[in-house]
Structure 1
């Protein structure tokens, strides 16, 4: 039996080691045998040696240039080895030669997904599925493309079709369900995924986040304990953990730091695969020249970030700054229109891949690029990791450490991250000379208690309008005690319907009286303004305080009581209250939080005077001055450009 025959027999028996030995012997005797090389390359690919396989298949192409199957295998190997640009060239040629081959179109689409070209990927993958409707791998990558385009229900359908071949797709289904707000489906999916992959910390973390959103505090605690056991010996590099829940779930800072390090390492690896441009070379800004400042975000529409930044863009000093805005997601609403009008150059980037956005930013000659996303939904951090600008900063969208080596600093303020507090991360923190928060739109709510079913004046209505994941067991216990000490008060809590069973179960279990609660739905902004104006005191969360929510409350005359925490997300209300000069609404611990809230609830005259004071501060514009916010950003950028020698 020849070595070639023995190699194929061993491979058929599943003995890849013996097969490899015989393939090498056979090729030593016949080094130009294209068929042998092709077979051995496939073996290398399936045993995790994609780069070696790609080199061999490149040699096979020279020996058999007309064999389109070699192109398909080469594209797959290059994709697996991270050579995305070369993989795409091979796949493009394969689809030209095999226009009716579903595999060719699937490979092309999957490579475009890796390159961040999601709309283009969708086109190829739908072509593959028109040729082979049951092609599970094509359904999976179509799901990824739709997932990244935030088309959650369509992505769920695609992943569901793929799950016929791969039950693990339930994890992807759960992620999309969570983003779509279907928390019950998300929880069920994550639990199924945990059963399939019991030692995957990324799944456990997402399950804990979903349980937090459902206000299932005991389940969240149990899941986090299981998570800690799984990562007791260290956090694996793959798969990476979602960054956002790391900012507020009760996890040790060393663990959070390690998880963020792995997250950013994965971004760097993807960047190397899809962008071949060298980092931008800093060019000095000539005397009298304008600084080109670029803002990058997927949230420049009806989103908390979009609502806050529009006036900042408008009030940049145009004699010194030119404002470029790069929108990673298309928005067609009033907020997006205002942002477009406030920009000198507005670039729609949804249909551009990562390399295309990087090239555009470099062509525009941006000196300062400010990321308004951080590692959140819709972000494309590979753009920043490519270093298209000389100075890159993180602001507003992710008020926490990132461990992102491509950021020169993250912008906070002295109240969110005091200089005296420990900072166990590598990110440089630069304190803005103003509040980290720009001013919100002024709505001007009207006090209409009867309209919202509230008790008559004189009986305090305490309120929480924060998202459900910000609530926790300690906060609920404090609220129960406040209502015990303030027997005439009512507590209004915004909760989505899915979160109410969990919250009410916990509330009753700790002795809370459900009749003292008003559970309410989300309202349109103008109606929420009236509802906030009709309440007496907002009780901020502990682990992740309100940002835009607190600003919206204050601008409508509603005071917000907050407890100073140890992390930036647990100090957002501190920043806002201190910027307003409302030190009496910042307390040091839970005992003081309970006592202050109860005292105010029991003294309606004092509470009314406090509301009047907040309204006066808002009218006088102490905090709500977009010009000051823009000037603070400008001063910080100029200082850091001087540090780099770019601005004299």
Structure 2
């Protein structure tokens, strides 16, 4: 933040770098005036940006006049501007001992404390400055900036309004005001503030970038891209603006341009941790998990605690052919070691709810996916079928732009908490105020998760389930819902959580029966139609090769692949090129993009047999196919995500569609018995509804909650756990 009132710009003087710009000292100055002249020379050097020369000149003044307030004050600023923050703070404190009534000095102390992340001290310095000079604009601005960091957002807006009342042409204050309003989810007002900043300073690149961030929150991606492009054209921060631009392009499914942008960033700054991570995300979206993981590992070698790279690596390991239960859980434990353990140490506090075994329990569900999203299909049945006499349901929603699905969840919940703009402190306080007994994470390490709050252990019992139910690595999460096939007994010691088996690791609400048909497409078409309605990023090269071999053995067959990323031309071209390289021409491949959920499911009427990708199998997509009467060929893998398909087929009563290896998978897929397919199409939906439908499944979940609550009630009183690098002792 600029110290503009301390280093003024003189309109009648044009300073340029170089010693020649500083006026020479008089050869024989009066000794009484020598420190004054040296101070003037030092300030002019400072104004010219010659910080080393300025600091040397200030030291000469202080050698002759150790208590010269101005010399100490400006010397402290020069050290701060040189990157020597602690030296700056130390000397400014000395200056304030000499003149404790200098409002500008207190304001500059606040500035230094902000840079030191000592925000409470910064706030005190701002208050002292304002008490001494209520009209000091920068003190009000610094106060607003400090309050923004402290997440006291309403107060931040008020202080920035005070600054703008004194100086309405201060672009930085309008920018910070916009940031505060954005965090308050007052997006229209935030956009107005950024527009004001830009009108005052058309080259204020941070205002353009922050405006773009607001557009991104509002899902106005084209507007966001235009703002990032303008920031990039200004050229002050090409790395930061380029990274943000690439993120928007990736969100728009424009992988090719995203890769070009982030590659340009890495040409400028090869060790950009965010750039390496984003390039990894681009590769992951193209289905190249191995390259993605290598890029995340490069990023983490530079910055071992960079959370986006840790989380992205966790997610991509689910797609990696050589991943194992041990390697996947080790990556999750690394998040705990680098991020979670420090949060627990700083924030964990006693939770000791009323230990009544039989009372109505308060269940809190935490997710950013209470919206039209595949994860929501997996947990909505449980929330919709809870026994409200025995369980109170509180939903903590991170959805920024609600949709019809969001409104449906609101109707289900007893209490609805919009946490989309809450800090971790605010969310933790709300959970405790709601007296949540069992807190359920529905995201795992996927986007929008609030694992940082779960790391604090804010509820007596904490569970992770459904949304990304592969384990979190957090010893503060007590249980993970699983099943014996997805997570076999012999690997459970790798998990931080205790595994609690349900009838299935995941389920969905059955679609309306009128969307189904009992007619087999083979009977109508005269050829087999295979289908994959999974994310394209799940289709590994090995899976694509196996599918190609299946189609080569059935030369009249067709394959329908449906996923929203197919709308990206780069994804389409890459996919078709890979099939062509394996002997399957584009005329046999139908690629479909996003549609309504009804049309998505009705498209399954065209499919005889679905092919499950690997090493990461389908979850919700497999249940959707089964409820539409379409069996899924799957392969037993070596991780929970690789065994999910096998777990679902076993639950559905069709284990004969599980292949033990590639050859077995091909055998099942190439020669399905048409009569078996007809029988499954007619009878399977009813069978799985009786066996694992929403009502029966929810009863099993509620029994689990009661068993977990009983264990908690019988456990000792709360004590703060000591977690180090070693895996914690498993709970029994």
Q: Could you say which TM-score interval applies, normalised by the shorter chain?
A: 0.7 to 0.9
Cα pair distance change 1:117/1:646, threshold 3 Å:
farther
Deviation (angstroms), 1:71: 3.5
Q: Map 1:67-86; keep pairs closer than 5 Å.
A: 67=103, 71=107, 74-75=110-111, 77-78=113-114, 81=117, 83=119
- Whole-Å separation in 1 of the counterparts to 2:184 and 2:90: 22
Is the 8 Å Cα contact of residues 118 and 146 (structure 1) preserved in structure 2? no
Deviation (angstroms), 1:387: 4.1
Q: RMSD in angstroms over aligned alpha carbons?
A: 4.2
Deviates more, 1:80-89 or 1:184-193: 80-89
Deviation (angstroms), 1:176: 1.9
Q: Map 1:12-411; keep pairs closer than 5 Å.
A: 19=55, 26=62, 30=66, 33=69, 36-37=72-73, 39-41=75-77, 43-44=79-80, 47=83, 49=85, 53=89, 56=92, 60=96, 63=99, 67=103, 71=107, 74-75=110-111, 77-78=113-114, 81=117, 83=119, 89-91=143-145, 92=156, 93=159, 95-99=161-165, 100=168, 101-107=170-176, 119=187, 125-147=194-216, 151-163=220-232, 164=234, 165-168=236-239, 169-200=241-272, 202-214=274-286, 230=298, 236-238=304-306, 240-241=308-309, 243-244=311-312, 245-250=315-320, 260=332, 279-286=349-356, 288-330=358-400, 332-404=402-474, 406-411=476-481
Name the SS for the 2:439 alignment partner: strand
Is the 8 Å Cα contact of residues 546 and 666 (structure 2) preserved in structure 1? yes
Name the SS for the 1:447 alignment partner: coil
Deviation (angstroms), 1:467: 0.8
Gaps of 5+ in 2: 1-33, 124-141, 146-155, 719-732
Select the residue among 523, 531, 550 that pairs with 1:463: 531
Corresponding residue number in structure 2 for 1:488: 556
Cα pair distance change 1:288/1:194, threshold 3 Å:
same
Corresponding residue number in structure 1 for 2:723: none
Is the 8 Å Cα contact of residues 428 and 458 (structure 2) preserved in structure 1? yes
Is the 8 Å Cα contact of residues 486 and 598 (structure 1) preserved in structure 2? yes
TM superposition score normalised by structure 2: 0.75
Instruction: Please list the CA deviations of residues 549-584 of structure 1 after superposition, one character each: whole Å capped at 9, or x if unmatched.
Output: 111111111111111222222222222112222221
Q: Does 1:642 align with 2:678?
A: no
Cα pair distance change 1:264/1:224, threshold 3 Å:
closer
Cα pair distance change 1:511/1:73, threshold 3 Å:
farther
Is the 8 Å Cα contact of residues 635 and 661 (structure 2) preserved in structure 1? yes
Instruction: Please list the CA deviations of residues 587-621 of structure 1 after superposition, one character each: whole Å capped at 9, or x if unmatched.
Output: 22112111111121xx3223323333423423534
Cα pair distance change 1:103/1:13, threshold 3 Å:
closer
Deviates more, 1:468-477 or 1:609-618: 609-618
- Whole-Å separation in 1 of the counterparts to 2:637 and 2:701: 28
- Whole-Å separation in 1 of the counterparts to 2:342 and 2:39: 37
- Whole-Å separation in 2 of the counterparts to 1:334 and 1:223: 35
Name the SS for the 1:243 alignment partner: helix
- Whole-Å separation in 1 of the counterparts to 2:97 and 2:197: 24
TM superposition score normalised by structure 1: 0.83
- Whole-Å separation in 2 of the counterparts to 1:118 and 1:261: 37
Is the 8 Å Cα contact of residues 202 and 242 (structure 1) preserved in structure 2? no
Corresponding residue number in structure 1 for 2:607: 535
- Whole-Å separation in 1 of the counterparts to 2:550 and 2:114: 62
Instruction: Please list the CA deviations of residues 183-202 of structure 1 after superposition, one character each: whole Å capped at 9, or x if unmatched.
Output: 33322222222322323455
Cα pair distance change 1:632/1:336, threshold 3 Å:
farther
Deviates more, 1:363-372 or 1:407-416: 407-416
Is the 8 Å Cα contact of residues 205 and 224 (structure 1) preserved in structure 2? no
The higher-RCO structure (CA 8 Å, 6+ apart) is 1
Name the SS for the 2:394 alignment partner: strand
- The number of equivalent residue pairs is 635
Cα pair distance change 1:38/1:479, threshold 3 Å:
same
Cα pair distance change 1:181/1:644, threshold 3 Å:
farther
Instruction: Please list the CA deviations of residues 506-551 of structure 1 after superposition, one character each: whole Å capped at 9, or x if unmatched.
Output: 1112222333222223332222222213311110110221121111
Cα pair distance change 1:284/1:581, threshold 3 Å:
same
Is the 8 Å Cα contact of residues 209 and 469 (structure 1) preserved in structure 2? no
- Whole-Å separation in 2 of the counterparts to 1:51 and 1:571: 58
Deviation (angstroms), 1:348: 2.3
Instruction: Please list the CA deviations of residues 20-56 of structure 1 after superposition, one character each: whole Å capped at 9, or x if unmatched.
Output: 9966993996468266336515633651637974995
Select the residue among 693, 696, 699 that pairs with 1:628: 699
Gaps of 5+ in 1: none
Q: Which protein has the larger Cα radius of gyration, Structure 1 or Structure 2?
A: 2
Q: Does 1:476 align with 2:537?
A: no
Deviation (angstroms), 1:63: 4.9
- Whole-Å separation in 1 of the counterparts to 2:499 and 2:64: 61
Corresponding residue number in structure 1 for 2:28: none
Is the 8 Å Cα contact of residues 444 and 470 (structure 2) preserved in structure 1? no
Deviates more, 1:381-390 or 1:578-587: 381-390
- Whole-Å separation in 1 of the counterparts to 2:173 and 2:602: 57
Instruction: Please list the CA deviations of residues 278-297 of structure 1 after superposition, one character each: whole Å capped at 9, or x if unmatched.
Output: 63532333454322111111
Cα pair distance change 1:256/1:162, threshold 3 Å:
farther
Corresponding residue number in structure 1 for 2:152: none
Corresponding residue number in structure 1 for 2:133: none
- Whole-Å separation in 2 of the counterparts to 1:66 and 1:539: 74
Deviation (angstroms), 1:98: 4.4
